[in-house]
Amino acid sequence: MENFNNLYHFIDIAKANRKYPDNTANNLKSALKIFEKELNADESKSINMIESSIEEIFRDVAIANKDKSILSLNTYKARLLKVINDYKKYGADPAKIQKWMPRLRQNLSEQKKKSTPLLIKKDKTDKENINLSNSIYSPVESVHKIEIVLESGAKAALSIPRGLKKTDAETIKAVINSLTAI
């Protein structure tokens, strides 16, 4: 039968064979420690039993670790399941660990190098099309800005061009007069 403590030994072997980086190995061990506290005697003797009753064990872990967020606990659960999965594939037979090619995460600069020109071109056009607000170019010398504080404390702002024609002024006056009908 596969004992829970075998997972600790497996992590050490995988780390020694450079299948897990140091920080990954440490993170996996901390996940084991959190779950180990909540295992009963039968579960600690059988990895298969842990895997089959992971949801019940997770509930116990969540109750016992109220100071940790559910998101963190879900991360620990995923790490535990990863170790169990890797152990089943490579831990039972030491010869298999030599053929194990772990997936390595790419850093951000490597991901940018692999992006296609089409995506880069699309991203640039998307950035050009984004406007947070409509920009208004109004030089100070060509516009009169008038702010009026209303009885309610709200402000009304008018921007009137200096070269305002009489017909335009009448239009603005008509619009303001129409507000009294509201």
Using the structure block, give the residue that is written with the tokens 């600790």.
8
With CA atoms as reference, report the closest residue to 24 among 109, 101, 104, 88: 104
Contacts of 30 (CB under 8 A, 6+ apart): 76
Burial 81-110 (b: 16+ CB within 10 A, else e): eebbebbeebbeeeeebeeeeeeeeeeeee
Contacts of 98 (CB under 8 A, 6+ apart): 17
Task: Please give the radius of gyration of the chain, using alpha carbons only, rounded to the nearest integer.
Answer: 33
At residue 181, the pLDDT reads 72
Per-residue pLDDT of the chain (182 residues; tens, 9 = 90+): 588 889 999 999 889 988 889 999 999 999 999 999 999 988 889 899 998 999 999 999 999 999 999 999 999 999 999 999 999 888 877 778 777 887 766 665 655 555 555 555 555 555 555 554 455 554 456 777 888 888 888 888 888 888 888 998 888 888 888 887 76
With CA atoms as reference, report the closest residue to 3 among 75, 91, 77: 91
Tell me the domain boundaries of the chain. 5-107, 140-179
Amino acid letter, 96: K
At residue 127, the pLDDT reads 53
